[in-house]
Each structure stands twice: as structure tokens, then as C-alpha cells.
Amino acid sequence: MERIVILTGAGISAESGLATFRAADGLWENHRVEDVASPEGFARDPALVQRFYNDRRRAAAAARPNVAHEALARLQRDYPGEVTIVTQNVDALHEAAGAEVLHMHGAVNSALCAACGHRWPAPEQMQPGEACPACQAPKARPDIVWFGEMPYYIDEIERKLSNCSYFVSIGTSGNVYPAAGFFRLADSVGAHTLELNLEASHSASQFAEARQGSATELVPAWVDDMLAEVS
């Protein structure tokens, strides 16, 4: 029985129609990260940042989970060992497929008060200077971890990685830390490391195994193999 930790990135939601970041038509081709995904950018132009996340919230709300999200939910439900899913994505497609997931970069359907830390379900469109429903301060922001901010659940994630026997990275280019270093921690405790990605990431050669292909092709096949091993 394996203790499995899975890390997902934008690539697993690409076939649900959601843009990735670093592809030719990716989100970072049309926006400067420092303008729309940093606390400084939000302080400088909150209307621009709210518009950026309003667009992503609307796209995420219209998207449906694909067979890769569904396969991971099936693995988490049917596999007799522990299956932890950590996502860098801010869409809710893992949950929509029935999985439990740790959103280490936050979630676009959640709002956060920068004054009191209160969280609430985000309206589809958030405006600059929106008031917090708990403390009334005009400090509502998207509940997203911006560059320079501390990702969520890091202690729990590192505990799971330190105790896992199988680590799988799906649909991420491995450009952003700390997520990009998770495979090293898993490898250091003897876990089997597998990358499933459309193209080999620059870390692919450091994984025990790397398969190239689309998530909807590779993930269901991998889940079927994992479940067949324990049936």
C-alpha cells in the first residue's frame, strides 16, 4: 500500500478550458505578474487586480472537471492507502469531481479580508474597496496567495511529503517554489517520483519516471494501474 501525494498545476485544468500561465497564450503572456498577482500590484491598482480575478472566477465557474480530475477523485475514494491531493490551481474542479484538495495558492471562489483575516465565499465579481462582512473594513481581496506571500498548508504538505512512498506531479511546469521542490523532499525519503505532463518539465530527468502526454490521457490510465495493483 502506498501513501500517495499528488501535486497538480494548471495543466490538469487546461482540457477543461482554463488558461495555463506559461504557454504561448498563457495568462502571463497578457499580464505582468507583478501587476496582477502581487500585494504591491493590488495596492497600486486594486481595480486591475479585481478585474483579473473576476475574469478567472467567471471562467472557473463555467468550467467542468475533466476525466483527469475525476480519476484523481476515484483514486482518493477507492485506493486503500492515503491519497493527498495538493493543488497550485485556484479553480474548484478537483472539488467538483468529488475530491478533497489542499489549495496551496488559495481559491478564486473565496474572498479574504486583508484587515481581519475573515474568509467568505467570493461573489463572482469583486469590486475595489469592497467591505468585509465581518469587520466592515474596505479591505476585501481575492483569497489568492500572491508572489511574495506564504503559500497555505505548507507545514501539513511537508509532513505528508516526508511520510509518502509515492509522489506524482501532474500538469505543472515546476517553475514556482515551494511546489517545484516537493519532488526532491519525496525523493529524499525514498518515495517513487512520477511526472505526468504534456511536455517534460526541466526537472523531469530528476524524477524516477516521467511520462509525456495530456492529463486526460495519462491520469486515468495511471489511476487504473494503481487501483489494479491493490484489487
Residue 72 CA to residue 8 CA, distance in Å, equals 10
Shortest separation between residue 231's beta carbon and ligand APR, angstroms: 26
Q: Select from 18, 215, 223, 226 the one that contacts ligand APR (CB under 6 A).
A: 215
The least distance separating ligand APR from the CB of residue 54, rounded to whole angstroms, comes to: 17
- Is 21 among the residues that bind ligand APR (CB under 6 A)? yes
83-87/102-103 β-pairing: parallel
Q: Could you say which of 69, 94, 103, 105 is catalytic? A: 105
C-alpha closest to that of 180 among 148, 206, 214, 210? 206
Applying CB under 6 A, the span of 11-19, 50-58, 115-123, 159-167 interacting with ligand APR comes to: 11-19
Residue in 176, 204, 221, 227 binding ligand APR, rule: CB under 6 A: 176
* Dihedral, CA of residue 131, residue 146, residue 162 and residue 85, to nearest 10: 70
67: contact with ligand APR by CB under 6 A: no
18 annotated to bind ligand: yes
The answer to whether 84 and 68 have CB atoms below 8 angstroms apart is: no
Going by C-alpha positions, the residue among 229, 202, 226, 214 that lies closest to residue 6 is 226
- Residues 6 or more apart in contact with residue 27 via CB below 8 angstroms: 19, 20, 21, 56
Cis amide prior to 151 (ω within 30 degrees): no
Our answer to whether residue 31 is catalytic in this structure is no
- The stretch among 133-141, 171-179, 185-193, 220-228 that binds ligand APR (CB under 6 A) is 171-179
Select from 15, 70, 143, 195 the one that contacts ligand APR (CB under 6 A).
15
Residues that bind ligand APR (CB under 6 A): 9-11, 14-15, 20-23, 26, 88, 105, 171-173, 175-176, 197-199, 201, 214-215
* Residues belonging to the active site: 105
